Amino acid sequence: MHEAGIAVIVGTPTYAVPAWLAAKHPDILVTTVAGQQKYGPRQIMDIVNPTFRRYAEKIIRTLMAHVQHHPAIIGWQLDNETKHYDNIGRYMQEGFVRSLQEKYPDLRQLNHDFGLDYWSNRIDRWQDFPPVENTINASLACAFSRYQRQQVTEYLAWQAAIVREYAQPHQFVTHNFDFEWRGYSYGVQPRVDHFAAAQALDIAGVDIYHPSQAHLTGREIAFGGAITRSLKPGQNYFVLETQAQGFAQWTPFPGQLRLQAFSHIASGAAMVSYWHWHSIHNAFETYWKGLLSHDFSRNPTWQEATTIGADFARLSPQLAELKAENDVALLISNEAMDALNHFLPGDARGNIYNDIFRRFHDALYDHNISLDIIHDVNEETSRYRVLIVPGLYAADEGLLTRINDYIARGGRALIGFKSGFSDENVKVRSSAQPGVLRQSCGVSYSQFTLPEETTVSSCCAEIDCRNDNQAELWMELLTPDDGTRTLLRYQHPAWGEYAAATEADYGQGRALYVGFLPQKGLISQLFDVLTADLTLNSRTSAYRYPLVVKKMRNRAGNNIHFLFNYSGEAMDVVSETLGTALLSGETVYVGQPLRLRAWEFTIIES
């Protein structure tokens, strides 16, 4: 490969244990609620098992010593899409109990914070600590989930320390994070704290897979890029895996592979690499096709990839090291995800936190509002003019106070239902809801219900929700404080007196609170109401999806505008900027008509 001019990232081979090792040490196979896993699939090992660690260290050191000086190697990838694999085994549970002993020298405090008196769950001696997997206590379950994620962070840091003993100064350490999987990359990863785990890396990496053909939207590329871009602030990231042909239903239409690749660049990626080079001929991923099909022959997907490589080489001076300058941020939380998903409303199933996250993210994406995704509110958050807070069900008082302070200092916040409801231990606050956030939101409630045959109506001229008026998933019966404006009201014979969405001034800023899950079109209207008097850098275009517009700054200080046609039909648009079309070299003027063919894009430097 080196002779062919191909640079190599070598991965540590720890994510699939060999049969002989599982036979010799069956205890290294992970135990989940379904029992101890049987050998066969990958990623069935117990990452905290000392025997597994011993063999993992041995193979890492053997590999590193053998190839460390090879001139083709530019970096090292730790493991592969690491998670805790739902580990409830002996070592995981013993470590969890030790962590609680360190945090709670007095068991009475643990019982109080977690509410363990309920159903006689109280623990009076550490040796009586019960297995966690069958607990009915959300506080305990969520604390264990957080501990499981911490072990992923520790495991990757442990591998990184070994690798760095051998790595050369010019070589980087990375890892390919992934997301909640629903047949494709869907939402925030519940089994890894990406922000904590990324501290062990030099460069953040990611795997992003998504629907294709008529279902290609770019939304997964956008949210995956926004999360990964925030893991190492100020840096670009690597797309270490994305689909070439992929599954049969993903075989890309002509032009889609190019559209996808440049969408990654427009999100801040510094590299796009495909899983995988050629389609394999046996085993589980036989039909997860690569750039080449099983016959190793040239094909339209491979041919399109060659044009991508040529354009990357030609345009790297303009497109390398692109930086986002967004002034809108969306706050995510693994802890809120755990807690919210522990109490599913009605017949809801699965990870509803990610359903809520995607609803808010996708609404703004379709509205051409570019955003960053953050995991905390701190001094750095002041650079954002708008903060989106969906489903922050569990949070300590410090975080909620920082949100209030952000608003008081002039920020705008769109805060979703259930936010502020419980503390960091998933203990419901005894004050009027939304707890600490009532101070900035100017609204309260003590009752809630499910929105059966319930719509919402507008109370202001700026919102027309006749086409997006369904209240979904949950509804809080809101009572505005004096001075708080009611934007939406429930339409229901029993609940019509209650507000559904409100807006309140607080200090120099403003908070908009939504007591239900709105449809995407209504979310974008609420965002427009909240920001009507603001000129936002994140508002990249007056156009709407399927024309997706991204704006980045290159290292020369110039603006790079990406216009993507995410549809199977040609689109006629008008240029909103003056500059040079990088693909053609032609000058583009403000107001100039542009035609984008199906799945086509243009890039303008200004």
Summarised one tens digit per residue, pLDDT across range 138-164 is 999 999 999 999 999 999 999 999 999
Rg of the chain over Cα atoms, rounded to whole angstroms, equals: 25
Q: What is the pLDDT of residue 149?
A: 99
- What is the per-residue DSSP string for 347-374? T--S-HHHHHHHHHHHHHHHTTB--EEE
Partners of 70 in the β-ladder: none
Q: Which segments of the chain belong to CATH 3.40.50.880?
A: 328-530
**427 secondary structure, DSSP code:** P
Determine the pLDDT at residue 4: 87
What is the three-class DSSP state of 434?
coil
Checking if the pLDDT of 1 tops 90, the result is no
Report the distance separating Cα 378 and Cα 57, nearest Å.
Answer: 37
184 token code pair: 């494709």
Q: What is the DSSP string of 232-291?
A: STT--EEEEEEBSSBSGGGPPPTTHHHHHHHHHHHTTEEEE--B-SB--SSSTTTTSB-S
Cite the DSSP H helix spans in 320-468: 334-342, 352-366, 397-408, 438-441
pLDDT of amino acid 490: 98
Task: Report, as an integer, the average pLDDT of 271-284.
Answer: 96
| Domain with residues 547-605, CATH architecture | Sandwich (2.60)
Q: What is the pTM of this model?
A: 0.97
Task: Indicate the pLDDT class of residue 128, thresholds 50, 70 and 90.
Answer: very high
Average pLDDT over residues 112-133: 96
Q: What is the pLDDT of residues 506-536, one digit of tens each?
A: 999 999 999 999 999 999 999 999 999 999 9
| List of residues 6+ apart from 475 with CB closer than 8 A | 417, 448, 449, 450, 451, 454, 490, 495, 500, 515, 516
Structure tokens, 90: 């002996």
pLDDT tier at 23, thresholds 50, 70, 90: very high
| 2 confidence band (pLDDT: 50, 70, 90) | confident
Closest alpha carbon to 29 in 94, 88, 98: 88
Q: What is the pLDDT of residues 286-304, one digit of tens each?
A: 999 999 999 999 999 999 9
Please state which of the four CATH numbers 3.90.950.10, 3.90.420.10, 3.40.50.2300, 3.20.20.80 is assigned to the domain occupying 8-89+141-319: 3.20.20.80
CATH among 3.40.50.1110, 1.20.120.330, 2.40.30.10, 3.40.50.880 for 328-530: 3.40.50.880
pLDDT of 565 above 90 = yes
pLDDT, position 364: 99
Q: Is 183 exposed, middle or buried (0-12, 13-18, 19+ CB in 10 A)?
A: exposed
Q: Is the pLDDT of residue 3 over 90?
A: no
Query: Torsions phi, psi of 353, nearest 5?
Result: -60, -45
Residues 164-170 have a mean pLDDT of 97
Positions of CATH 3.20.20.80 in the chain? 8-89+141-319
Looking at residue 582, its amino acid is L
Instruction: Round to whole Å and give the CA distance between 116 and 367.
Output: 46
The overall average pLDDT reported for the chain is 98
DSSP letters spanning 16-45? S--HHHHHH-GGGB-EETTEEPPSSSSS-B
- Write out the residue limits of the CATH 2.60.40.1180 domain(s) in the chain: 547-605
Q: Mean pLDDT throughout 19-33?
A: 98
- Residues of the chain by 3-state class (helix, strand, coil), percent to 5: 35, 25, 45
Spatial distance between the Cα atoms of 3 and 484, rounded to a whole number of angstroms: 69
Look up residue 445 and give its amino acid.
Y
Instruction: Tell me which H or E stretch contains 444.
Output: strand 443-444
- Residue 225: alpha-carbon gap to chain centroid: 8
CA distance 16 to 32: 17
